[in-house]
Every structure is written in structure tokens, then in C-alpha cells.
């Protein structure tokens, strides 16, 4: 695993990530209250602009909800209900097959 370095000081380890631009930052370069860069474009935007990254400091570009899992909660419930219905349907088909075989073979 590679060692993460500060975007402004390559000789220092990065312990933070900017919420606006996503750059890795050392303790000196990170504003501890806003978790943004003290230097560069983020500092020029000001403290009142909205952060572009989630509160966790990380952003997954493949995550359509950007860390907000409320959209997935309903999807998970639908998946569970669909799975239960599939099991019930499979048991019903098994019952029909057994009863049909009994009728066909005159048991």
C-alpha cells in the first residue's frame, strides 16, 4: 500500500482529504473546521460555498447516492420481498408437480 502524501508538501504524510477538491492534505494545509484546503482554489472560494464531497471526506464516483444510503434501503426491502415471493412460487410449483404426478400415476 502506498504512502499518501500532501498535495502541497510532498515530504509530509497526508492525514486529511479536502471536501471541495478531493486533494490529500497534511495537518498544516487542512482547515480543521471545514476540512478544506487552506491554499489554492478552495481557499479562494471561501468558507460559505458548499462542499462538493460528502461529510465522510471520501467520494466514490460509482456511487449514485454519494454516500446517502436511504435510496438503497427501499431497494433492499424490494429485493427481500421479491426473494420471498420467488421461494413461495418455487414451493407452489413443486407442490403442483408432486400432486400432478400422483394424479397421473393413480396413487
For position 29, what pLDDT does the model report? 87
Q: Radius of gyration of the chain from Cα atoms?
A: 27
Q: How many CA atoms lie within 13 A of 43 on its CB side?
A: 7
Q: Is the confidence at residue 92, as pLDDT, over 50?
A: yes
Domain-wise residue ranges, the chain? 1-68, 70-107
DSSP character for 63? -
Indicate the SS3 state at residue 54.
coil
pLDDT-based confidence at residue 1 (cuts at 50, 70, 90)? very low
Angle 88-89-90 from CA coordinates, rounded to 5°: 90
State the chain's mean pLDDT as an integer: 76
- pLDDT at residue 9 in the model: 86
Q: How confident is the model at residue 79 (pLDDT cuts 50, 70, 90)?
A: confident
Amino acid at each position: 500500500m502506498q504512502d499518501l502524501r500532501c498535495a502541497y508538501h510532498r515530504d509530509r504524510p497526508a492525514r486529511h482529504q479536502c471536501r471541495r477538491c478531493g486533494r490529500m492534505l497534511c495537518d498544516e494545509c487542512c482547515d480543521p473546521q471545514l476540512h478544506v484546503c487552506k491554499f489554492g482554489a478552495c481557499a479562494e472560494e471561501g468558507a460559505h460555498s458548499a462542499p462538493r464531497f460528502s461529510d465522510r471526506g471520501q467520494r466514490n464516483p460509482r456511487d449514485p447516492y454519494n454516500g446517502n444510503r436511504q435510496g438503497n434501503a427501499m431497494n433492499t426491502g424490494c429485493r427481500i420481498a421479491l426473494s420471498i415471493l420467488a421461494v413461495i412460487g418455487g414451493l407452489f410449483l413443486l407442490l403442483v408437480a408432486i400432486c400432478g404426478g400422483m394424479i397421473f400415476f393413480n396413487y
